[in-house]
Structure 1
Amino acid sequence: MSHEPPICRRVFLMRHGHYERTGNLGDTVWGLSPLGRRQAVRVGRRLAQLVDSASGRFEGVYASPWPRATQSAEIAGREMDLDNIRIKRYLHELVPLVDPERPEFKSFPIGLEATPSEGRVFVDQQIDKIRDRFFKPPTRRSFVLLFAHGNLIRYLVARTLRLPYEAWAMMDIAHASISELRVYANGFEALISFNETGHLPPSMVTTA
């Protein structure tokens, strides 16, 4: 009897480390804080273990162009002896989608304004781009590492679970956390883990 695992693509999703919101410079400038750099080292060491134990073809490391994600990928990459970080514009952060008519926002602890319809269209288009690239049914075992942002990761999880994007509001996600989605040869998708932070001591776990 064969005990070979089924053919699948393992998509590892890492949120960037803690970052400095200095002045009004914005997302395209803000970079990691000293804490965020330490978090990135820790996530790199954990990923080195995962890569070493994973079977199949390694598809590489991809990152958002926003500095906090790119820097996280570069620091983690050094821990894995990898320096070929591929920057993809469509991995940047997305707006939080809010529909005030949906019940999950009736008791949401933080007041959020409704998202204009064009924002929802943009989110859908960007998530489709990511899925077209990384979520097609594989023909052989493989794995890929994506360094991105909290909302984007939660939207990808929601799509895999066939939930509305608004499910993001019920998923907290920490800096330098690791989540894993799998895509199988028949097109089935599964959430394997979400928001793993065991590689970080409690004092280094941050979310905002």
Structure 2
Amino acid sequence: MPTRHLYLTRHGASDPFGNLTDTGRRQSALLGERLAHLPIDTVWHSPLPRATASAHELARHLPTASVAEAPELIDHVPYVPRPAETPPSWTGFFDGYDATEAAHGHRLADALVARFTQLPDTDTHEVLITHAYPIAWLVRHALEAPPYRWLGLNSANTALTIIEYRPGLPPTLVMFNDLSHLPPDLRWTGFPTSTRP
């Protein structure tokens, strides 16, 4: 049965200006080493510099994979929840989002799903280097959860999430936010300090 394998990852650690740091390069290289034994077809990346640099660092370990930009992977808020859907910890986060901005984010989210969840004719293995919110949106979609449930699905830098799509079956969430390719000192970048053990 043909399967579309999506290997989702957040870009490596970046500086306040959005550029990949030495830590981020190390994280991306280690993820590339982890994926090197798989038949990766394409490494897709967000247009933002931290994702682009992560993609090229990772792809050094995947010599047969092509590397390409996908605008649908840009960092964006995929769905602005209604007040009744917003957890107390997110109160205030969406202040200032007007209806036009919220609609634009939702259109990007729809385009992301339309492009990367189509069923394949043959087996495909694609790496998507993106940001925490698009990963959360694709996981929420795979689980058929309500739109606001993307909230709180955070991803560490270069953590690995895998979703598989097969004809006639619901999507399979194989793993979420796995960090086993990283040594302990590189595992907690990208998370709020409060979530670290």
Q: TM-score, normalised by structure 2?
A: 0.86
Structure 1: which 5+ residue stretches go unaligned?
1-5, 23-29, 53-57
- Find 1:20's aligned residue among 3, 15, 18: 15
SS at match of 1:86: strand
- Find 1:48's aligned residue among 36, 49, 52: 36
User: 1:120-159 maps to which residues of 2 (within 5 A)?
Assistant: 120-159=102-141
User: 1:64-143 maps to which residues of 2 (within 5 A)?
Assistant: 64-82=46-64, 84-95=66-77, 97-99=79-81, 101-106=83-88, 108=89, 111-114=92-95, 115-143=97-125
Aligned length: 189
- Find 1:193's aligned residue among 164, 170, 175: 175
Rounded Cα–Cα distance in structure 1 between residues aligned with 2:23 and 2:135: 21
Counterpart residue number, 1:61: 43
SS at match of 2:60: helix
Indicate conservation of the 8 Å contact 2:78/2:137, yes or no. no
Indicate conservation of the 8 Å contact 1:136/1:187, yes or no. no
SS at match of 1:137: coil
Question: Which has more radius of gyration?
Answer: 1
Rounded Cα–Cα distance in structure 2 between residues aligned with 1:199 and 1:119: 37
- Find 2:5's aligned residue among 7, 10, 15: 10
Tell me by how many angstroms 1:132 deviates: 2.2
Identical columns (%): 26
Write the deviation string for residues 40-80 of structure 1: whole angstroms up to 9, x where unpaired. Answer: 1111111113x15xxxxx54111111010010010000022
Rounded Cα–Cα distance in structure 2 between residues aligned with 1:83 and 1:187: 27
Indicate conservation of the 8 Å contact 1:139/1:185, yes or no. no
Q: TM-score, normalised by structure 1?
A: 0.81
SS at match of 1:174: coil
Rounded Cα–Cα distance in structure 2 between residues aligned with 1:87 and 1:61: 8
Indicate conservation of the 8 Å contact 2:72/2:108, yes or no. yes
Rounded Cα–Cα distance in structure 2 between residues aligned with 1:20 and 1:96: 24
Counterpart residue number, 1:25: none
Indicate conservation of the 8 Å contact 1:63/1:146, yes or no. yes
CA RMSD of aligned residues (A): 2.1
Distance verdict in 2 for CA 1:95–1:193, change over 3 Å: same
Indicate conservation of the 8 Å contact 1:98/1:112, yes or no. no
Tell me by how many angstroms 1:16 deviates: 0.1
